[in-house]
Structure 1
Amino acid sequence: MNSLSSFLLLLLLPALTVVGLSTTGAAITTITTVGVTYATPASAAGSSPISPDRIAAKVTSMRIPAVRILDSDPALIRSFAYTNVSLLLSVPNPLVPLLATNRSLAMRWVYRHVLPFHPRSRISMISVGDDIISYSPDISQFLLRAMQNVYQSLRDLSIYKVSVSTTFSFFNTISTTSAPSTARFQQPNGDFIISPVLQFLEMTNSSFLINIYPYNFYRSNFEIPIGFALFQEHPFLFRDDLTTGVRYRNIFDIMIDSVISAMAVMGHENLPVIVAETGWPCTGTDAREVDATVLYAEMYLKGLIKHLRSGNGTPLRKEGVAEAYIFELVGREQQGTRNWGILDQNMTQKYRFEFSNGCKTSRFRTYLIGLLLVVVVLRLLM
């Protein structure tokens, strides 16, 4: 080692130490990816459907990192090519029995919705069915076989980075309770449907997808203050799990930890959890839904994103949920239906908040700078 190399090494040691500490902190703190759901809406009379390219352009302009496409429209999947937006596709519920009983149909679905676009469009996961237990209990028996056939079809085509799961609804899956430690999967579906699915997810390194709606939890229990549902910080806004002594500051964490407790009872406490849908409606089905307002919807979404960005996770899952998808990108404005959209039909934004997270970017830049410094030093020492 010459004198110049020694001098440079001493000069860069403090910087390398800072980089090491920064990247170590980044590894410990996990920031949840926050995306949106989107389904191609039925066109209103006299209006034109929103083009897939316009949807993709809007998503990228809002810096939304992930989209769950509920109807898996191939044109929409194609429109996200080279955008770096992660896509979670869905197999419609009516197709589940067909894909379960006919392996070639599963392969055909993958041929049409994945193979032409991957990896130019960043397809990360496929949800085979959505809340299929409440959709049709009769076809729930086909769920696992359909998931297996889609998974094997991907492998047969040498597609290894797209995982397979299914989506459940909290209220049709978890025994309703305000104490997460006592939560269990509802029976008999817990043993006959969910348990085999959990085993499949564990074996394939996939994630458990769940629809989480604190709005519905709040409406089912009017003793809960509205602020507890909207992530409002107040000394008296809390609920204690009397069994574990854990204190909860919002309904969202109670619901997530209820899912984690139920999975733990079945021996799968370490499975990653993805919130496939969450949100707060800005209008209700009728005048009785007085809490379905634009103000409360904005408060919920801002509170949710702040909570997920904090990196604090939940009391039972310090890393929190892996991803969360806000329902939904474009609202449905039909009378008598709830409107959950963060955009109006004319694509204008209702609320002011940012999806992107600067912390990830800055840490990644720090990591790259650190690598470059290491390379420079090593080359000088050679």
Structure 2
Amino acid sequence: MEWSFVAVILAVALVCPRASSIGANWGTQASHPLPPEIVVRMLRENGIQKVKLFDAEYDTLRALGKSRIEVMVGIPNEMLSTLASSHKAAEKWVSKNVSTHINTDNVNIRYVAVGNEPFLSTYNGSYLNTTFPAMRNIQIALLKAGLHNQVKVTCPLNADVYDSSTTLPSGGDFRADIRDLMITIVKFLVEIGGPFTVNIYPFISLYNDANFPVDYAFFDGVSQPVSDGGTFYYNVFDANYDTLVHALEKNGFGNMPIIVGEIGWPTDGDRNANVEYARKFNQGFMAHIAGGRGTPRRPGPIDAYLFSLIDEDAKSVQPGYFERHWGIFTF
């Protein structure tokens, strides 16, 4: 069977020079998932050199073997409790899902994402006691397997783990109810050389607030930029990212590497979700970071993964119908 793919955005390789690093999220919650080898071919043909997964599905990882594509493999939140309570379970998971694929299939695994946005307020604290112990046990397992220098532990977090007391980036700090836990996790990541991974969604800012200025969600500039003590912000991405930078600086972690784990715009499911806006946002974002300029508070290249490769029609629509329509490709 022949497949052909149409990019909702411009081909990544064409619009994002190497100054910044662009990858893509590969989710598989679809009623008719594409064969993994087809997706890998699509990644390679479009110059996407990094991929972030939400699990460690065998066929997916095997298809990535010898592709040289850099992989962030994922551990679902449901597994955190088991991994937190058992060194043996962590060692078994690393052996099966990391060591085997690196040694046998030549998969370029660079990160293990332990959990996915586990501290979302909607989870009501379900993973507060298991996330950090699971991260620690996976790190110990990587150490035992001799892979700790090659594979780094991280934890993709929603941007709601920090906020601003002043609504300006300079007022940024970690959310009061999880502040001590966040500092423990960040300290651990610094010690092992792991990055802080954050998911930033300007679309959600617009979705949640009818009065949010639409042009501030994009990258074309605004007539009234936000002034933070003489530093001007022309888009909400820079402001959100720098709120995190300030939170890290405030707690003594100013040099912490940051990865944007998810960023994108849906093409359907809301009045602000359409192909035109998705193209405008994704192309605008890549052009914005292409020069390696960074943000006002953190100049330099930005490491990011677009969300997501293809629409996922089996995802929960509890957050909104747009959840099934994040694909940057259609076929």
Name the TM-score, length of structure 2 as normaliser. 0.87
Is 1:343 matched with 2:326? no
CA distance in structure 1 between the aligned counterparts of 2:63 and 2:185, rounded to whole angstroms:
32
Shift of residue 222 of structure 1? 4.1
CA distance in structure 1 between the aligned counterparts of 2:225 and 2:206, rounded to whole angstroms:
14
> What pairs up with 1:25-64 in 2 under 5 angstroms?
31-43=19-31, 48-64=32-48
**How many residues are treated as equivalent by the alignment?**
304
Provide the residue aligned with 1:247 in structure 2: 232
Aligned counterpart for 1:139 among listed residues 127, 147, 151: 127
Shift of residue 83 of structure 1? 1.1
Q: Which structure's CA Rg is the greater one?
A: 1
> What pairs up with 1:323-338 in 2 under 5 angstroms?
323-333=303-313, 337-338=321-322
Provide the residue aligned with 2:111 in structure 1: 125
Shift of residue 171 of structure 1? 2.4
CA distance in structure 2 between the aligned counterparts of 1:307 and 1:127, rounded to whole angstroms:
26
Q: If each structure's strand is expressed as a fraction of its own residues, which one has the higher value?
A: 2
Shift of residue 72 of structure 1? 2.0
Shift of residue 227 of structure 1? 2.0
Q: Give the 3-state SS of the residue equivalent to 2:102 in structure 1.
A: coil
Query: Do the aligned partners of 2:29 and 2:313 also contact (CA within 8 Å) in 1?
Result: no
Is 1:197 matched with 2:189? no
Offset from partner CA, 1:234-293 (integer Å, 9 cap, x none): 5x152111xx31101111100100011111111111101101111111112xxxx32111
Is 1:180 matched with 2:166? no
Is 1:168 matched with 2:153? no
In structure 1, what residue type is equivalent to 2:139?
Y
Provide the residue aligned with 1:96 in structure 2: 80
Aligned counterpart for 2:244 among listed residues 259, 271, 291: 259
Query: Do the aligned partners of 1:314 and 1:320 also contact (CA within 8 Å) in 2?
Result: no
Query: Do the aligned partners of 2:30 and 2:312 also contact (CA within 8 Å) in 1?
Result: no
Tell me: CA distance 1:65–1:114, structure 2 relative to 1, closer, same or farther (3 Å): same
CA distance in structure 1 between the aligned counterparts of 2:247 and 2:274, rounded to whole angstroms:
32
Q: If each structure's helix is expressed as a fraction of its own residues, which one has the higher value?
A: 1
Query: Do the aligned partners of 2:55 and 2:75 also contact (CA within 8 Å) in 1?
Result: yes
Query: Do the aligned partners of 1:227 and 1:237 also contact (CA within 8 Å) in 2?
Result: no
Shift of residue 233 of structure 1? 3.4
Query: Do the aligned partners of 1:53 and 1:79 also contact (CA within 8 Å) in 2?
Result: yes
Unaligned runs of 5+ in 1: 1-28, 349-382
Tell me: CA distance 1:121–1:281, structure 2 relative to 1, closer, same or farther (3 Å): same
Unaligned runs of 5+ in 2: 1-16
Q: Give the 3-state SS of the residue equivalent to 1:81 in structure 2.
A: coil
Q: CA RMSD in A?
A: 1.9
Provide the residue aligned with 1:279 in structure 2: 264
CA distance in structure 1 between the aligned counterparts of 2:146 and 2:274, rounded to whole angstroms:
47
Query: Do the aligned partners of 2:23 and 2:51 also contact (CA within 8 Å) in 1?
Result: yes
Shift of residue 176 of structure 1? 7.5
In structure 2, what residue type is equivalent to 1:165?
T
